[in-house]
């Protein structure tokens, strides 16, 4: 049976289609304010990290608006346009198009390296400034994208500095650590780190007793803990993700494995305040080399107080996004415009220093902030303290860690 | 016949989208729908017409994406020949997998499990070797230019994807009319009876899997050239396998335009759910899931099935 559509049906269909296609135009017509896109993976595998990042950026916006907004633009308020990358690169890239059409002056996000590779490139097509909050993979800033700025250090810098800090701590303590055992997850991050450690550590006179790989997820670390116990290394270097890190630390504690220190580089949970609070037995004295704020700055103290008042977890995603949002606001302030090209120029020439990270004035070279660095932290009394370098330290290092009963 | 006309109208309407809107967002929206329609069509060739339900179509998608990436990055092969080689590799792996799996007469849920296992093995393998980018993945250098299969103008990708979807629909229509398609459908309906009539199930199903693999490979190549990056989870992960089967099942199994209809509808639903729920993270995915359940409950043979029922009634 065939039936031709009536005129009314055709009109209804055309109207629906027109409404759908016309929607972005409606989005554009809103009150004058400066829009900034916050693109984080707030659902999916990276939801916790993404949510933390979003909170950090929103906190900065709240404070900046309370302080009078963008003064060079007559006190224009910053307006967050929220987007969810769903922990998937192609969704992140599609969200960039949506943000560009919403008229944002810049984009901040998207935590994961894989997502960042896609979103920075998508933003480049719109000539839209994209500040990368975390994404440590070095290729993100090595593709000649003029719109891409990474405020935090990349993998190469982080690992080199982690090793330097280990040598410095060990030397200062009279070289108690001679033997090392590496436990790593067998994906890109863990394997890469393990390979690097195997190359570099012997150059500093450390002996590597064993390198133990495990998949993600791993739900039982008993065998690995027993292997570690048998090898009895001075130092355990773990490189795995949050859940495995917590499980491993707890199993080591249960099996009474007590190396002179657990020393992580970009440790999955070693810089996570919840781990420190909820599993103090396992977490106490673990050392990490990670993004962290400079706790000695006055702004950091104010930031930490606000975070505590809101009942949020103090994590590095929060710190980095808070700082990056201030960096973007400063660029818009100097550009005195939400014009995309002007914002990119302002970011490229940024010397911004009113942030909470231990970086000093910002200086971008090919999109990478040259002053960016990590610090060495240690979990002490359910708190995360900076122990190295000295100028940022909030506590003296406990290295080697004394044996418990 | 009416279903055919409707499908052609849908395809034609999609062809003019870039002329109607200059919005990058909507262009990307429809581009992604077309990409997943292509992947869905690949699944439809094997699952819809052949009745072989694969849970691991990410294998072929991933092979397309990874092969073209590795050939360009590691061996300096120009993008276009690399793309053709990647599609050939996906087809060859499809044929090899078919020859292996169908020889041992794996059907139904066993076939589904084996394909799932192969995709998972591939995912773990590519994540383990430096040659395949280990856990980091494959990143193609940004170098816009038609010779590099990278287009600064999103519309070019759009029309390319559109043309490939058209080709996919033509393949499906050919299946409905050709001898090969008739054999494949006969196997779907009753393999033992088909065999009794002199059809070689091994040969037919293997060819179908190779064809399906090639189409999924095309989708993988296209994904790689658009985003220039894929890692093991994106390319070979179970999410991609599910994406491959959702569109044809929702749109209508074993119909030429079902995957396209399903992909458009699923993407529209996803976007609608996002608008409806505002900023609350994850709520859109919950709504999406609920809508999906409702659709499966009331439309067991997909949208096309509904249209057919209405046409009959």
What distance in Å separates the CA atoms of residue A320 and residue A267, rounded to the nearest whole number? 17
A156-290+375-392, CATH topology level: Rossmann fold (3.40.50)
- The pLDDT mean for chain A works out to 89
Tokens at residue A50, please? 């993404």
Reply yes or no on whether the pLDDT at A22 is more than 50.
Answer: no
3-state secondary structure at position A358: coil
Do residues A305 and A321 lie in contact, with contact meaning Cβ atoms separated by under 8 Å? no
Reply yes or no on whether the pLDDT at A57 is more than 70.
Answer: yes
> Is B3 inside any structural domain?
no
Residue A94 with chain B: CB contacts under 8 Å: 25, 28-29, 32
Number of domains present in the structure of chain B: 1
What distance in Å separates the CA atoms of residue B140 and residue B62, rounded to the nearest whole number? 15
Residues 6+ apart with CB under 8 A from B171: B41, B45, B211, B215
Tokens at residue A137, please? 């993979």
Do residues A287 and A399 lie in contact, with contact meaning Cβ atoms separated by under 8 Å? yes
> Is B82 inside any structural domain?
yes
A129-168 residues touching B, CB cutoff 8 A: 137, 139, 143-145
pLDDT band, residue B279 (cuts 50/70/90): low
Question: Touching check for A81 and chain B: CB below 8 Å?
Answer: no
Q: Please tell me which of the candidates B25, B135, B154 has its beta carbon nearest to residue A101.
A: B25
- Angle between helices B58-75 and B108-126 in degrees, nearest 10: 20
Q: Which residue has the tokens 């996803």?
A: B270
Reply yes or no on whether the pLDDT at A335 is more than 70.
Answer: yes
Q: Please tell me which of the candidates A51, A97, A124 has its beta carbon nearest to residue B25.
A: A97
- Interface touch B134/A192, C-beta < 8 Å: yes
CATH of the domain at B279: 1.10.3470
pLDDT band, residue A19 (cuts 50/70/90): very low
Count of CB atoms within 10 A of residue B294's CB?
10
> Is B117 inside any structural domain?
yes
pLDDT band, residue B309 (cuts 50/70/90): confident
pLDDT band, residue B277 (cuts 50/70/90): confident
Q: Which helix (H) or strand (E) holds A250?
A: helix A242-254
- Minimal C-alpha gap between A1 and chain B (Å): 6
- Minimal C-alpha gap between B214 and chain A (Å): 22
Q: For chain A, how big is the Rg over CA atoms in Å? A: 24
B152-207 per-position pLDDT tens digit = 888 999 999 999 999 999 999 999 999 999 999 999 999 999 999 999 999 999 99
Do residues A292 and A273 lie in contact, with contact meaning Cβ atoms separated by under 8 Å? no
Question: Rounded to 5 degrees, what are φ and ψ at A205?
Answer: 90, 10
Q: Please tell me which of the candidates B136, B279, B282 has its beta carbon nearest to residue A188.
A: B136
A30: left (phi over 0), alpha (psi -120 to 50) or beta: beta
Count of CB atoms within 10 A of residue A73's CB?
17
Averaging pLDDT over each range in A12-26, A309-323, B226-240, which range is the top one?
A: A309-323
> Is B286 inside any structural domain?
yes
- Minimal C-alpha gap between A113 and chain B (Å): 9
- Interface touch B281/A97, C-beta < 8 Å: no
Range of the domain at B74: 23-312
Q: What percent of chain B has pLDDT over 90?
A: 63
Tokens at residue A389, please? 């370098």
Q: How far is CA B169 from the centre of its chain?
A: 12
CA distances from A212 to A184, A257, B121 (A): 6, 16, 21
- Using a CB–CB cut-off of 8 Å, the residues of B that contact A are 1-2, 20-21, 23-29, 32, 127-128, 133-137, 139, 141-142, 152, 154, 223, 227-231, 233-234, 239, 274, 279, 281-282, 284-285, 311-312
What distance in Å separates the CA atoms of residue A107 and residue A127, rounded to the nearest whole number? 11
Do residues A181 and A210 lie in contact, with contact meaning Cβ atoms separated by under 8 Å? yes
Long-range Cβ contacts of B204-207 (<8 Å, 24+ apart): B204/B50, B204/B180, B205/B50, B205/B52, B205/B98, B205/B102, B206/B95, B206/B98, B206/B99, B206/B102, B207/B95, B207/B98, B207/B180
B24-74 per-position pLDDT tens digit = 888 889 999 999 999 999 999 999 999 999 999 999 999 999 999 999 999
Mean pLDDT of B5-18: 91
Reply yes or no on whether the pLDDT at A257 is more than 50.
Answer: yes
> Is B81 inside any structural domain?
yes
**Residue boundaries of the structural domains of chain A:** 34-153+296-369, 156-290+375-392
Tokens at residue B302, please? 């997909």
A34-153+296-369, CATH topology level: Rossmann fold (3.40.50)
> Is B237 inside any structural domain?
yes
Q: How far is CA A229 from the centre of its chain?
A: 33
Q: What share of chain A is helix, strand, coil (3-state, %, to 5)?
A: 45, 20, 35
Q: Which helix (H) or strand (E) holds A54?
A: helix A47-66
Q: Please tell me which of the candidates B135, B139, B154 has its beta carbon nearest to residue A117.
A: B139
Q: Which helix (H) or strand (E) holds A264?
A: strand A261-265
Q: Which helix (H) or strand (E) holds A378?
A: strand A375-380
């Amino acid at each position: 049976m065939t039936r031709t559509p009536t005129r009314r049906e055709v009109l209804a269909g055309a109207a629906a289609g027109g409404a759908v296609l016309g929607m972005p135009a409606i989005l554009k017509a809103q009150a004058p304010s400066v829009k900034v896109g916050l693109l984080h993976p707030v659902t999916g595998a990276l939801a916790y990290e993404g949510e933390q990042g979003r909170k950090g950026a929103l906190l900065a916006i709240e404070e900046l608006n309370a302080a009078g907004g963008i003064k060079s633009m007559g006190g224009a308020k910053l307006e967050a346009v929220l987007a969810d990358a769903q922990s998937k690169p192609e969704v992140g890239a599609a969200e960039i198009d949506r943000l560009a059409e919403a008229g944002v002056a810049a984009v901040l996000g998207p935590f994961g390296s894989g997502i960042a590779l896609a979103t920075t490139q998508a933003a480049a097509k719109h000539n839209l400034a994209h500040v990368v909050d975390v994404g440590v993979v070095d290729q993100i800033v090595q593709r000649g994208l003029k719109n891409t700025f990474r405020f935090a250090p990349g993998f190469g810098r982080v690992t080199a500095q982690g090793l330097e800090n280990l040598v410095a701590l060990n030397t200062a303590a009279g070289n108690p650590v001679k033997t090392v055992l590496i436990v790593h997850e067998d994906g890109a991050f863990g394997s890469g780190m393990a390979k690097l450690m195997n190359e570099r550590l012997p150059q500093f006179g450390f002996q590597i007793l064993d390198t133990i790989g495990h998949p993600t997820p791993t739900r039982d670390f008993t065998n690995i803990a027993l292997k570690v116990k048998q090898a009895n290394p001075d130092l355990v270097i773990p490189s795995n993700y949050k859940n495995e890190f917590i499980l491993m630390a707890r199993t080591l504690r249960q099996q009474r494995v007590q190396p002179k220190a657990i020393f992580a580089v970009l440790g999955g949970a070693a810089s996570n305040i919840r781990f420190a609070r909820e599993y103090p037995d396992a977490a106490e004295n673990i050392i990490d080399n990670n993004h962290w704020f400079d706790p000695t700055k006055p702004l950091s103290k104010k930031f930490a107080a606000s975070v505590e008042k809101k009942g949020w977890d103090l994590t590095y995603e929060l710190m980095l996004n808070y700082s990056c949002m201030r960096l973007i606001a400063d660029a818009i302030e100097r550009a005195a415009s939400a014009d995309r090209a002007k914002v990119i120029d302002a970011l490229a020439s940024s010397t911004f220093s009113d942030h909470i990270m231990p970086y000093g004035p910002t200086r971008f070279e090919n999109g990478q902030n040259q002053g960016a660095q990590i610090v060495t932290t240690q979990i002490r009394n359910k708190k995360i303290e900076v122990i190295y370098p000295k100028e940022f330290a909030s506590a003296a290092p406990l290295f080697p860690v004394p044996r418990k009963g | 016949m009416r279903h055919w006309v409707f499908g052609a109208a849908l395809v034609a309407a999609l062809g003019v989208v870039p002329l109607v809107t200059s919005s990058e967002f909507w262009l990307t929206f429809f581009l992604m729908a077309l990409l997943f329609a292509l992947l869905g069509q690949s699944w439809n060739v094997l699952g819809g017409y052949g009745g072989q339900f694969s849970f691991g179509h990410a294998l072929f998608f991933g092979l397309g994406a990874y092969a073209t990436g590795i050939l360009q990055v590691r061996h300096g092969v120009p993008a276009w020949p690399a793309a053709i080689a990647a599609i050939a590799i996906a087809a060859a792996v499809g044929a090899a997998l078919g020859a292996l799996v169908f020889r041992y007469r794996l059907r139904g849920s066993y076939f589904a499990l084996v394909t799932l296992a192969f995709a998972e093995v591939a995912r773990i393998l590519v994540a383990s070797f430096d040659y395949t980018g280990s856990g980091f993945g494959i990143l193609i250098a940004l170098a816009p230019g038609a010779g590099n299969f990278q287009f600064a103008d999103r519309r070019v990708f759009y029309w390319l994807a559109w043309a490939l979807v058209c080709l996919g629909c033509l393949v499906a229509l050919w299946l409905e009319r050709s001898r090969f398609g008739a054999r494949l459908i006969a196997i779907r309906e009753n393999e033992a009876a088909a065999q009794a009539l002199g059809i070689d199930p091994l040969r037919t199903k293997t060819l179908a899997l190779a064809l399906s693999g090639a189409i999924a490979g095309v989708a993988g190549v296209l994904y790689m050239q658009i985003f220039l990056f894929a890692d093991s989870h994106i390319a070979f992960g179970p999410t991609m396998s599910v994406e491959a089967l959702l569109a044809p099942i929702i749109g209508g199994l074993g119909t030429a335009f079902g995957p396209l209809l399903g992909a458009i509808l699923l993407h529209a639903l996803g976007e609608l759910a996002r608008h409806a729920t505002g900023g609350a993270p994850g709520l859109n995915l919950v709504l999406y899931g609920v809508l999906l359940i409702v659709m499966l409950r009331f439309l067991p043979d997909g949208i096309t099935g509904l249209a057919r029922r209405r046409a009959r009634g």
